[in-house]
Structure 1
């Protein structure tokens, strides 16, 4: 078995590749959840995958074991699977990757990503990410949008996005985008801003914001009603959980004032880690209600 495997080689045209990776660039699972939502809505089919053996430290990200009916125990490994969906009426096809950021051999991994993109006739790459930021959940979630080139190709002549000015530690997204750009493929990066005091997974509010921004590039309309309802219920439940939590309510008011003053693309400066942790601890009851903590630890092995 090689590092890259194809189950089939579909004939795709003018393809848009949309990718997200769990881990460092996926705060509140907002980005990977968005790609998974897209794949379900468009009825995407798996056609290729990158084998995990050479790219992960399995003592850091352990495989899981599960019971599968008559098949007995099955080991599930970290996966990076490519799915495709044809949008024939638009003349464009879609390619999705909701994967896991690898631990090792990033340049090799990125070259396999490019190999799939070239085989699928990809003309535009869009990566989704999520970051923790000093923003309030009581305002619409904002998305930072950047591009690697001034023009994004046919059909997107009216879309003009700034280049990223970020400097500092980076993730596999930047490595992939750099290599695709060197291949002459325009790339867009969308980052949803998640409240730093609310490190809950998932956060449908941020996922919804990413998908709304992404609709600019989609060849056919996307139904977001179900996700919109989930976001409303999430915010309603959070509002109830915060009743009487005076410290965090005051902090949110300060974030609202900052939010109202800034321009949409700006990043705020979160509080210190110790202050953030104190705020997070005030939400422990809310988190237990959402995740069912306290039900007892499952047996391992």
Structure 2
């Protein structure tokens, strides 16, 4: 993260907080004067080396031969939080940046922000049946959110595992473009909303999770985000015939009550959602996470029922109602298709009945392989896909 800079009265005094100087901070730009700090830097040996944080080896180097020539004068350390005090001879405009932040690209910063909520979902492990990412995209589309920022994928993805894809450029049947698995942020400042909403969707990164989450945190700070809400979907031993159960957590009890969730007792592997929530919470930002429980035996099928449950639960937090007629129609068709499939397969029907009979308040995640009386998940998925193929016109 970048060092935090603040100014005092004239002559301008620049404070760099020791606690904010990170090993990942590599560039600070002060009025076109570039200071470079390297992870391999050695303690300063000449007057041109101006230390910011010698105990953490964060050494900016000024372009000119000495700091005095640029109007900088270093004074002794003052207190635990301020590692060095620099006094400028003349006013300067100060811009913060660093090499680790280059991946965050804010194309246009929205004006007149109203305490935005950042809502995010990640495809992959955190997104059973694509329910969470579909919900976030649905929210963005419903309120006509416009893209304004993104995170470059280069440092965070193994492209052999999450491959880019090629497509023809819009309006052309000869020119192609590569679409990379980037993280995109869109914002809506619709008047019907009580506050602004930023939506972010991405495939779960493969690499450098802490750095990635700090980029999201940096965007949240720049946009004055008041709440980070993550959506997820997990596979659970629940029947598809019951209403979708939602679980989750929040950084304070009042927020948890508004979302209607109680803390889960889950302990075990976590995804990027858990890491992001923890990093944001540790930095004092309000966080909440909402998860839909998806029947594990239909994990390979998009589940509009889970998506609808997430969208409906989020709506009160946004202070508005959301038109979900198309989702409701999709759910009706989804339920009808499953009902017909189950009616044609006695083995699957018996298993669903067993799930219904032991349906509990807070089911845990599905165990790998499921219980011994579970027909293979692929069996129902294959049945469902075959049924859908039969419904398509020739």
Alignment match, 2:249: 146
Q: Is the 8 A contact 2:194 2:318 kept in 1?
A: no
Q: CA offsets per residue over residues 58-79 of structure 1, 9 Å max, x none?
A: 1111111122342612111102
Taking the aligned partners of 2:193 and 2:306, their CA distance within structure 1 comes to 28
Alignment match, 2:152: 51
Deviation at 1:94, TM superposition (A): 0.4
Q: RCO (CA 8 Å, sep 6+): is it higher in 1 or 2?
A: 1
Q: How does 1:177-256 map to 2 (within 5 A)?
A: 177-256=277-356
Taking a change above 3 Å as real, the CA distance of residues 158 and 278 of structure 1, as seen in their structure-2 partners, is: closer
Alignment match, 2:55: none
Alignment match, 1:14: 115
Q: Is the 8 A contact 1:15 1:92 kept in 2?
A: yes
User: Does the alignment pair 1:96 with 2:199?
Assistant: yes
Q: How does 1:1-301 map to 2 (within 5 A)?
A: 2-11=102-111, 12-68=113-169, 69-70=171-172, 72-152=175-255, 161-259=261-359, 262-263=360-361, 265-267=362-364, 269-270=366-367, 272-273=369-370, 276=374, 278-290=376-388
Q: Is the 8 A contact 2:193 2:318 kept in 1?
A: no
Taking the aligned partners of 2:152 and 2:104, their CA distance within structure 1 comes to 6
Taking the aligned partners of 1:96 and 1:120, their CA distance within structure 2 comes to 12
Taking the aligned partners of 1:144 and 1:242, their CA distance within structure 2 comes to 27
Deviation at 1:42, TM superposition (A): 0.4
Question: The residue matched to 2:160 in structure 1 has which SS?
Answer: coil
Taking the aligned partners of 1:157 and 1:249, their CA distance within structure 2 comes to 36
Deviation at 1:183, TM superposition (A): 1.8
Taking a change above 3 Å as real, the CA distance of residues 285 and 224 of structure 1, as seen in their structure-2 partners, is: same
Alignment match, 2:8: none
TM-score, length of structure 2 as denominator length? 0.68
Deviation at 1:169, TM superposition (A): 0.7
Taking a change above 3 Å as real, the CA distance of residues 282 and 18 of structure 1, as seen in their structure-2 partners, is: closer
Taking the aligned partners of 2:265 and 2:383, their CA distance within structure 1 comes to 38
Q: CA offsets per residue over residues 144-192 of structure 1, 9 Å max, x none?
A: 132122243xxx9866744443211111111111111012122111110
Larger Rg: 2
Output the aligned Cα RMSD. 2.3
Deviation at 1:242, TM superposition (A): 2.2
Aligned length in residues = 286
Q: Is the 8 A contact 1:134 1:271 kept in 2?
A: no
Unaligned runs of 5+ in 2: 1-98
Q: Is the 8 A contact 1:200 1:287 kept in 2?
A: no
Taking the aligned partners of 2:167 and 2:263, their CA distance within structure 1 comes to 44
Q: Is the 8 A contact 2:251 2:288 kept in 1?
A: yes
TM-score, length of structure 1 as denominator length? 0.88
Taking the aligned partners of 1:202 and 1:40, their CA distance within structure 2 comes to 18
Unaligned runs of 5+ in 1: 293-301
Taking a change above 3 Å as real, the CA distance of residues 213 and 158 of structure 1, as seen in their structure-2 partners, is: closer
